[in-house]
Structure 1
Amino acid sequence: MARRQGQIDERKRQAVLDAAGTLFADKGMAVSMEEIARVAGVAKQTLYNRFASKAEIARALANQRADAIVAPLKEAGEPAQVLEALALSLLERICHPDKTSSIRGVVLMSAEAPDIAQAVYEGGPLRSLNLLSAWLADQTRAGRLDVADPDDAAEMFTGMVLGHGHLRAMLNAPQLDAARRARRARNAARLFLAAYGPKVSVASTAASSA
């Protein structure tokens, strides 16, 4: 069956992102748009029709990565389950030994290509924080959490989960193994809920124990 135009366009877009991700990891910002098009198997004009610059490609890659990391926020479940799943997603995609080279690549490019580094930050980590902040606000309105400042709490949660993960990645130091990643995810969710779980009033406590 023939593919619709939209399907073909999406396949080409993904081919560009896949090629760019590989080339950025191997060569950094030295890679040219022409080389990305060649490896992706698309015409140079096709590439420019979709992405005007390497910064736009980097932002799209960061968006894709951020959406994958925060996917647990779209799942139904109690806050403890969702937060533990999110914590594990963060650890698996950022602190897994096989994933750290991309972080070092971004750090190295930040001086020579600050516009691309900024695009990566805005499209990736900042986007993840904003999505988590929105989820925390929704949970607070529903009475499942009690978070006065969702933006601050979102950053605190990710910092507690990752710990020295980014630092280890930048210095190519050994990362947490699978068992410690799972334990860190459980503990981070538990500690976060201890601080931001719904407050139970004294009157409610007395009534329930009566």
Structure 2
Amino acid sequence: MARVRGQVDETKTEAILEAASALFGEKGALASMEQIARRAGVSRQTLYNRFPNKLEIGRALAARRSDAISAPLRAGGDPARVLTAFALGLLDKVFRADAGASLRGVALMSPEMPDLADAIYEAGPAEGLRRLAAWLAEQDRLGLMRVPDPEAAAEMFAGMALGHGHLRSILGVAQPSIDLEPRAAEAARRFLRAFAR
């Protein structure tokens, strides 16, 4: 079936994002738009039609990650289940085998491309924290938790869930062998105890 004029082929967009993620992990800021197009198997014109520059690719990658991690906040449910699922999403991203490469790639790009680093942080981690803070504020409003400062609590929960996992990923240090689900559940349980009504 032929595409309707103007219709975007999402498989090409995904191929571009996957290629960019891999190349940013390998080369940092040295990854070129031409290399991204070649690795994705798309023309340069297709790449530029979707993403005019690396900043927009970085923003899209970070937003995609933030959407995946914050999905439990939109799904609803009791606070323990939601926080456990959110923590598991964070841990999964950091403990995955390929996580370190992409995190190191962003870290490598930061000094050379501070605008890109800012865009990635704002669209990804900062957006995830804003969503978690909004969810925590709603839990406080509903009387399910007592969260006087949702922004600080959101950052506290992310740090509690990740521990040093994020730092180990960036540095390329081996992660300890842990079962992520009990770790996520424990972080949620302790956080809920600290912010209980």
Paired amino acid for 2:83: L
Paired amino acid for 1:196: F
How high is the sequence identity, in percent, across the aligned residues? 55
> What aligned pairs does 1:90-101 form with structure 2 within 5 A after superposition?
90-101=90-101
Other-structure match for 1:120: 120
- Where 2:146 maps in the other structure, the secondary structure is coil
Other-structure match for 1:191: 190
Other-structure match for 1:205: none
Residue 191 of structure 1 and its aligned partner are, at CA, apart by 1.1
Residue 169 of structure 1 and its aligned partner are, at CA, apart by 1.4
Cα distance in 2 between the residues matched to 1:2 and 1:67: 30
- Where 1:88 maps in the other structure, the secondary structure is helix
Q: Which consecutive unaligned segments of at least 5 residues does structure 1 have? A: 200-210
Contact 1:16–1:36 (CA<8 Å) still a contact in 2? yes
> What aligned pairs does 1:98-177 form with structure 2 within 5 A after superposition?
98-177=98-177
Contact 1:58–1:116 (CA<8 Å) still a contact in 2? yes
Contact 2:161–2:184 (CA<8 Å) still a contact in 1? yes
Aligned length: 197
Greater RCO (CA < 8 Å, at least 6 residues apart): 2
Other-structure match for 1:202: none
Residue 184 of structure 1 and its aligned partner are, at CA, apart by 2.1
Other-structure match for 1:86: 86
Other-structure match for 1:53: 53
Cα distance in 1 between the residues matched to 2:36 and 2:94: 24
Cα distance in 2 between the residues matched to 1:142 and 1:100: 38
Residue 27 of structure 1 and its aligned partner are, at CA, apart by 2.1
Q: Could you report, residue by residue, the CA deviation over 1:29-82 in whole angstroms, capped at 9, with x for unpaired residues?
A: 212112222332333233222222101101100110111111121223110111
TM-score, normalized by length of structure 2? 0.90
Name the CA shift for 1:20/1:96 in 2 (closer, same or farther; >3 Å).
closer
Other-structure match for 1:65: 65
Structure ID, larger Rg: 1
Other-structure match for 1:22: 22
Residue 4 of structure 1 and its aligned partner are, at CA, apart by 4.3
Contact 2:161–2:183 (CA<8 Å) still a contact in 1? yes
Residue 158 of structure 1 and its aligned partner are, at CA, apart by 0.3
TM-score, normalized by length of structure 1? 0.85
Cα distance in 2 between the residues matched to 1:57 and 1:176: 32
- Where 2:9 maps in the other structure, the secondary structure is helix
Cα distance in 2 between the residues matched to 1:97 and 1:48: 30
Residue 97 of structure 1 and its aligned partner are, at CA, apart by 4.0
Contact 1:96–1:175 (CA<8 Å) still a contact in 2? no
